[in-house]
Amino acid sequence: MLEALTGTGLAASAGLNAYIPLLTMALLARFTELVNLPSGWNWLSNGWTIAILAVLLAVEVVADKVPVVDHVNDVVQTVVRPTAGGLAFGAGSGSETVTVSDPGQFFGSHQWVPIAIGVIIALGVHGVKAAARPVINAGTAGFGAPVASTAEDATSVFVSLAAILLPVLVLVFLLGVPFLVMWVVRRRRRRRQQRRAARLGQTETMVDQY
C-alpha cells in the first residue's frame, strides 16, 4: 500500500499546485538518492524539464495570489492539475523511494491505471480548492487570496515530501479533505442565504417607497 499512498499524496498535491510534486520528485531524483524514477519517467529529472517546471511554478505562485486572476488561473488549471496529478501518480507509484522496495507491484502491468487514478484524485482536490477560493475572497474582500494560496502551496510541498519520505502521513491529509468540503458547502449555502435576504430587503424597500 505504500506505493498507493505515495502516488495518492503526489496526485493530491498536484490538485493544489500542479508543479510542486513534479518538481519535488525531479529534484530529489536528480540530486539525491531518495527517489529512483522508473526508466519510463527518467525524463522528469532532466535539466530542461526541471527548468521548465521551475518557471511554470513561479508563474503559478504569482497568479494564484491575485484576486480575480486566481479564479482565471483555476479555470486554466482545471486541465493542467489533473494532468500533473496523473503524471505524479504514475511516476510516484512506480518509483523507488526510501519506503518503497517493490515498485509497481500494486498495479501490475496495467500502466494506465495509476495515471487515471492520479487524474481523478487531482481533479477532486482541485475542485475543492477552486470552490473554496471564491468563498475566501468574498469573505475577506480579496485579502485572503494570498494567505490561502500560500497555505495551499505549503500544504502541497508538505504532502509531496510526506508522500515520498513517509507515505503514512498522506492519510492525515486525506482525512482532512472531507472536513474542508463540508466547510466549503456550508459557507456557500450561507452566502446564498445572505444574497436572498439582501434581495428581499431591497424588494421590500422599493415597495415601501412606492
Query: 207 lies in a domain?
Result: no
Query: 199 lies in a domain?
Result: no
Query: 173 lies in a domain?
Result: yes
Query: 206 lies in a domain?
Result: no
Annotate the chain with three-state secondary structure: CHHHHHHHHHHHHHHHCCCHHHHHHHHHHHHCCCEECCHHHHHHHCHHHHHHHHHHHHHHHHHCCCCCHHHHHHHHHHHHHHHHHHHHHHHHHCCEECCCCCCCCCCCCCCHHHHHHHHHHHHHHHHHHHHHHHHHHHHHCCCHHHHHHHHHHHHHHHHHHHHHHCHHHHHHHHHHHHHHHHHHHHHHHHHHHHHHHHHHHHHHHHHHHC
Give per-residue pLDDT as tens, 11-22.
Answer: 888 888 989 999
Note the pLDDT of residue 140: 72
Note the pLDDT of residue 4: 72
Query: 22 lies in a domain?
Result: yes
Give per-residue pLDDT as tens, 163-186.
Answer: 888 777 777 777 776 676 676 667
Angle (CA) 66 70 75, round 5°: 165
Supply the range of the domain harboring residue 28: 2-184
Query: 24 lies in a domain?
Result: yes
Would you say 16 and 152 are in contact if contact means Cβ atoms under 8 Å apart? Answer: yes
Query: 88 lies in a domain?
Result: yes
Locus of grid cell 496523473: 86
Smallest Cα–Cα separation from 41: which of 30, 33, 55?
A: 30
Mean pLDDT, contiguous 10-residue spans, the chain (210 residues): 75 89 90 79 87 92 85 85 82 54 49 73 84 76 79 88 80 70 69 67 56
Domain count, the chain: 1
Query: 49 lies in a domain?
Result: yes
